[in-house]
Amino acid sequence: MTLSQFRISGKRPSIPGAGRIRERDVLTNRKQLETKSSKIIVSLVSFLTESLRVMQQDSRQRQDGAVGMESSGYRSSRATRMKLRKGNITGVLQRIRRDYIVNSYFVTGIIDSTIYEEDCFFADPTISFSGLELWTRNLQLLVPFLMQPRINLLDIRRISPREEENEVVLKADWTLETSLRLPWQPFISIGGSTEYTLNEDKNKVLRHVESWDVSGLQALLQILIPGDFRK
């Protein structure tokens, strides 16, 4: 097509590969946005964790003769039970169910530690790390700030094929609602699921990975909204 023909027709000359270039640009922009969002989430989580730690220390210092976290039962509440034999997948599932229904472990930190590897990997949409002890310490910071928390187990089941010998995965679906002990009392409401990947002996949890029905950023933003506007 000549330049004069282009002026008459009003059509732009096609550029080979233009569609692929635009698609690549969209993917690049999306990745950049996801990276920025991830950095924001990490920064918010770090800020909130440090704020809770400072508030907790200040509260403990104001209480004359108050019992510290170590002796109040949060750390020692990790229930001690008999270890499961190798391959007892049903036993692991039953103990996880009990941790939900009896212990409400998400909001109390009371868990059956015998079904977790000490270097268990924990992840949710806002943070990830390894170590059962670190996970319980994080809960120690959070639990005192929860007001009337409710964790509801909807279902728990095995999702990996029964004939699969190398990996066993259990999945629990749940809902969580709680207010936070902050001046504006934000109300948190999240639905989600947790996948528990078992170790080679199939008697302990090696990976504990949560997914939510909202993004990590949306969940954190709930903390900024006064509870009266959300309930």
β-sheet with 146-158: strand ranges across = 127-130, 116-124, 205-212, 187-198, 169-180, 146-158
- Residue of 137, 229, 223, 124 whose CA lies nearest to 179: 223
37's tokens: 């969002």
Q: Is 75 among the domain residues?
A: no
| Residue at 167 is within a domain | yes
**For residue 43, is it left (φ>0), alpha (ψ between -120 and 50) or beta?**
alpha
Q: Which amino acid is at 10?
A: G
Residue 182 within any structural domain of the chain: yes
b (16+ CB within 10 A) / e for 51-79: ebeeebeeeeeeeeeeeebeeeebeebbb
pLDDT score at 87: 93
Domain count across the chain:
1
Residue 48 has a pLDDT of 54
For 19-59, give the DSSP string: HHHHHHHHHHHHHHHHHHHHHHHHHHHHHHHHHHHHHHHHH
pLDDT in 10s for each residue of the chain, 231 residues: 554 444 445 555 555 555 555 555 544 554 544 444 455 545 555 545 555 555 555 545 444 443 333 333 334 344 447 889 999 999 999 999 999 999 999 898 888 999 999 999 999 998 899 999 999 888 888 888 999 999 999 999 999 776 656 789 999 999 999 999 989 999 999 999 999 999 999 999 999 999 999 988 888 889 889 977 555
- For residue 154, the tally of other CB atoms under 10 A from its CB is 11
| Residue 11 in domain | no
In a domain, 9, yes or no: no
Which CATH number goes with the domain that contains 199? 3.10.450.50
- Domain membership of residue 129 (yes or no) is yes
At 133-180, the pLDDT tens digits run 999 888 888 888 999 999 999 999 999 776 656 789 999 999 999 999
Q: Return the pLDDT at 138.
A: 85
Structural domain including 92 reads 81-229
164-185 residues labelled b (16+ CB within 10 A) or e (exposed): eeeebbbbbebebbbbbebeee
> What global pTM score does this model have?
0.70
Q: What is the pLDDT of residue 39?
A: 52
Tokens of 149: 């928390």
What CA–CA distances, in Å, run from 107 to 43, 61, 84, 138, 148?
A: 23, 24, 25, 11, 10
**Do the domain assignments include residue 50?**
no
Note whether residue 146 is domain-resident.
Answer: yes
